[in-house]
Structure 1
Amino acid sequence: MPAAGEVRIAANGDAEAVAHWLAEYRASPRTQRAYRREAERLLLWLGEQGRGLGSLRREDLDAFEAFLADPQPRARWTGPARPRTSPEWRPFRGPLSAASRRQSLVILQGLFAWLVEAGWVSHNPFRLMRDKRRRLDNRQGRVERYLERSLWEWLWAWLNRPLSQRATPRQRFERERQRLVFGFAYLLAPRISEMSAARMHDFHRREGRWWWRVVGKGDKVAAIPVPPDMLPLLEAWRAQLGLAPLPEPGEATPLLRALNGTRPLGDNRLYRLVRETFQEAAEALEDERGRAVAPQVARLRQATPHWLRHTALTHQAQAGVELRFLAATARHARLDTTTRYLHAEDEEWHQQQAAHGLVARGDDAL
């Protein structure tokens, strides 16, 4: 803890100091949750060593970044999504990607900048990490965490398989909810927090066209065109809930709901629902087609909810959606982020490259 008289916030420890910083983001709950997660990981990592924020030095940051890439021991640090009150809760769901590690370091640099101004720590070690180095750590090509179109089409057909006539009301409810979740994710490319926060009246009609209103990162409001295939999914889900076919203005009730049909579905439960569905689908595909589809089964087992967003944007790009509209749907601040989804030319390039061989094709021999 800093020496008396130097501190400009009322805090009795690092956790309280971080809480003051997080309070600055109370108007942006999603940002606040993301920032709390990164700060908490750092505090826990330091706590394992019996250290505090003020002890952090530049030489520690490489070890911390390596820890983010592979939290060890796994049983102590990683696990499936659970409520924070659960004894099974863990700070990580798995190792962080290069992009996620970079984002964590950027967030923590902001935390330390604030703590320096507050007089809680004497310096900001993150500022000593050269920007060039952090960018190189984040080198990535195109997005690869998505389902190829043939695998997506199999998955969607599987989600639409007929239920047994003896299916229970709960099974029918869960099936309709699965269809809505996966269809919503594929057609509109939402983030998982945006899906769980969606309200019925976020789907609204303007000048004869349907739009989805979403509050995304940084509390930025956007309106996304609703594809025609989304409306039958909405109607079927609302019929399951005993509601009129399409949402009405002012209908502020949750879109996604728990089994009681009224309580909203939280981020963690939605994450588990999607992951469980992917695992169930992987087992079904393996049973159906055996070892011939082992790579596709492996991808389903690996997939997370964010894969659905990547899949949606990649398939839109492959379908020829213009970059400016793709960026608007994704709500990316930078076009170079969106271009990572442009796989559309790969097949044509591969076909043309195949014309180049060790022996010319179609030419007469000497």
Structure 2
Amino acid sequence: MLGEVAKLQEPASKGLERENWPGLLPMFSLLDTPRIDAQLIDAKNDVEAVAAWLREYQDSPQTLKSYRREAERLLLWLSSHNQSLCDMNREMLRQYEAFLEDPQPAEQWVGVSKPRHHSQWRPFRGGLSPASRRQSLIILQGLYSWLVEAGWVDRNPFVLMRDKARRLSNQAPTIERYLERDLWGWFWQWLNAPAKIASERDAYEHARRRFIVSFAYLLAPRISEMASAQMGDFQETEGRWWWVVVGKGSKLARIPAPDDMLECLIEWRQALELKGLPSYHESTPLIRALDKRRGISDNQLYRLIKGVFSEAADALEAQNGKPAYVGALRRATPHWLRHTAITHQAQSGVSLRYLAESARHSKLDTTSRYLHTEDNEWHHEQQRHRLKTDPKTPADPL
């Protein structure tokens, strides 16, 4: 559909090229002139402008993926209304919010998961939840802010939203998407319970998912960091082991590897028929495919972890576990393990300074969202406010 972007070879343009767009929607009216005079990007139409924005995130694969998805949905919706990015106003934004909740007509917008080039591919699996709609608006708000600065559009309609500050803040007061201590305890015990091992492959898969979860919990990596990790990223310096990672924003970091992590690493290497801890600069994948040699992609790792959560939810439900815990496991994504890791470190007394270093947050405000101490104290203090005595009947005259 969008051949003008086909010349872009950067990862950001993937998914925005003509051959990758099924012909299920009207064609864009691709303008040959910029929107306003002071243009700071080399773009001739909306798609090229969005592709320029996406290239800013090419070093963050997961961010790029989610941003591309939301921008693509907006562009398709605008195209279906014969509108462009500069035409978006407050009323259209209200209509788009409603569309995200219930994409209609469904046969045009909603479908099962298919490869991006498949004729039956659709932008949605279903209507978005309130949290997903909020995240979509956050992303698009950022897109429009960038396009204003780039000189492609002259206004950002998101600033007109009355509850913008509340709804479009990307940071909730505290982190809620994590496994509570009791649920984590059950989950880890379930994961380590003796399994029915019918084959060598079963034994390998059991060892792999145990290592993946332990790695995610003990070092709080992002999923892209897990998928790209090498054995040699674990390094010893003066008798101490560290995990070295190039993370978000291409920032190099060194995280202390606790003893539990080293034990899990040795066990995992045994499953790979390797001995001891990694040697210096051992440039082989840390997490591997079934052949025990090749690495796995972000998407494969994502599906694997989601599958573990789904199995755990089924098991807990069969045990008549708390419905809230069962629901949490069904909603959980791989990133919940990172949130769980940081939250539990905070609860264990790790100082805010070192917590921020391990989480690789650029701002302490981000890390402080994992501290639930004030919530606990507030809840305890609120217990002072009680109905100490039953009201008298009849009530005494005043």
TM-score above 0.5, yes or no: yes
Shift of 1:55: 3.1
Shift of 1:181: 1.2
Structure 1 position 328 matched with structure 2 position 357? yes
Aligned partner of 2:396 in structure 1 is none
Aligned partner of 2:148 in structure 1 is 113
Q: Which amino acid aligns with 2:287?
A: L
For residues 259 and 195 of structure 2, what CA distance do their matches in structure 1 show?
25
Aligned partner of 2:201 in structure 1 is 170
Aligned partner of 1:364 in structure 2 is none
Aligned partner of 1:55 in structure 2 is 87
Aligned partner of 1:310 in structure 2 is 339
For residues 52 and 174 of structure 2, what CA distance do their matches in structure 1 show?
38
The 3 A distance-change label for structure 1 pair 128 and 90 is: closer
1:129 aligned residue (145, 151, 159): 159
Unaligned regions of 5+ residues in structure 2, if any?
Answer: 1-29, 390-398
The answer (yes or no) to whether the contact 1:200–1:255 under 8 Å persists in 2 is: yes
Q: Which amino acid aligns with 1:129?
A: V
Aligned partner of 1:40 in structure 2 is 72
SS in 2 for 1:129: helix
Q: Which moved more, 1:7-16 or 1:150-159?
A: 7-16
Aligned partner of 2:303 in structure 1 is 272
Shift of 1:80: 8.4
Structure 1 position 185 matched with structure 2 position 220? no
Q: Which moved more, 1:75-84 or 1:313-322?
A: 75-84
Query: Residues 1-366 of structure 1: matches in 2 within 5 Å?
Result: 1-4=30-33, 13-23=45-55, 26=58, 29=61, 32-65=64-97, 67=99, 70=101, 72-73=103-104, 84-85=116-117, 90=123, 94-95=128-129, 96-97=131-132, 100-101=135-136, 103-113=138-148, 116=151, 121=152, 123-126=153-156, 129=159, 133-138=163-168, 140-164=172-196, 166-288=197-319, 290=320, 293-344=322-373, 346-347=375-376, 350-351=379-380, 353-354=382-383, 357-359=386-388
The 3 A distance-change label for structure 1 pair 343 and 98 is: farther
SS in 2 for 1:295: helix
SS in 1 for 2:259: coil
Q: Which moved more, 1:2-11 or 1:154-163?
A: 2-11
Shift of 1:90: 4.5
Q: Which amino acid aligns with 1:108?
A: L
The answer (yes or no) to whether the contact 2:61–2:224 under 8 Å persists in 1 is: no
Shift of 1:102: 5.3
For residues 278 and 252 of structure 1, what CA distance do their matches in structure 2 show?
30
Q: Which amino acid aligns with 1:126?
A: N
Cα distance per residue 1:49-108 (max 9 Å; x no partner): 34333433354334435555x353578767887754565674579534476345403431
For residues 116 and 62 of structure 2, what CA distance do their matches in structure 1 show?
16
The 3 A distance-change label for structure 1 pair 32 and 138 is: closer
Q: Which moved more, 1:136-145 or 1:351-360?
A: 351-360
Aligned-CA RMSD value: 3.3
The answer (yes or no) to whether the contact 1:21–1:114 under 8 Å persists in 2 is: no
SS in 2 for 1:248: coil
The 3 A distance-change label for structure 1 pair 301 and 30 is: closer
Aligned partner of 2:18 in structure 1 is none
The answer (yes or no) to whether the contact 1:109–1:124 under 8 Å persists in 2 is: no
Q: Which amino acid aligns with 2:335?
A: H
The answer (yes or no) to whether the contact 2:214–2:264 under 8 Å persists in 1 is: yes
SS in 1 for 2:244: strand
Shift of 1:11: 6.1
SS in 1 for 2:50: helix
For residues 350 and 57 of structure 1, what CA distance do their matches in structure 2 show?
43
Q: Which amino acid aligns with 2:165?
A: R
The 3 A distance-change label for structure 1 pair 141 and 2 is: same
Shift of 1:158: 0.8
Shift of 1:174: 1.1
TM score, norm. by length of structure 2: 0.76
Q: Which moved more, 1:314-323 or 1:207-216?
A: 207-216
TM score, norm. by length of structure 1: 0.82
Q: Which amino acid aligns with 2:188?
A: W
For residues 182 and 155 of structure 1, what CA distance do their matches in structure 2 show?
10
Q: Which has the higher contact order (CA 8 A, sep 6+)?
A: 1
Cα distance per residue 1:260-296 (max 9 Å; x no partner): 22222211111111111111011111222x2x52222
Instruction: Report the number of matched residues.
Output: 351
Q: Which moved more, 1:255-264 or 1:267-276?
A: 255-264
Cα distance per residue 1:190-224 (max 9 Å; x no partner): 12122112121111112211111122221112111
The answer (yes or no) to whether the contact 1:183–1:230 under 8 Å persists in 2 is: yes
Same amino acid, percent of matched pairs = 47
For residues 45 and 66 of structure 2, what CA distance do their matches in structure 1 show?
21
The answer (yes or no) to whether the contact 1:192–1:306 under 8 Å persists in 2 is: yes
The 3 A distance-change label for structure 1 pair 204 and 110 is: farther
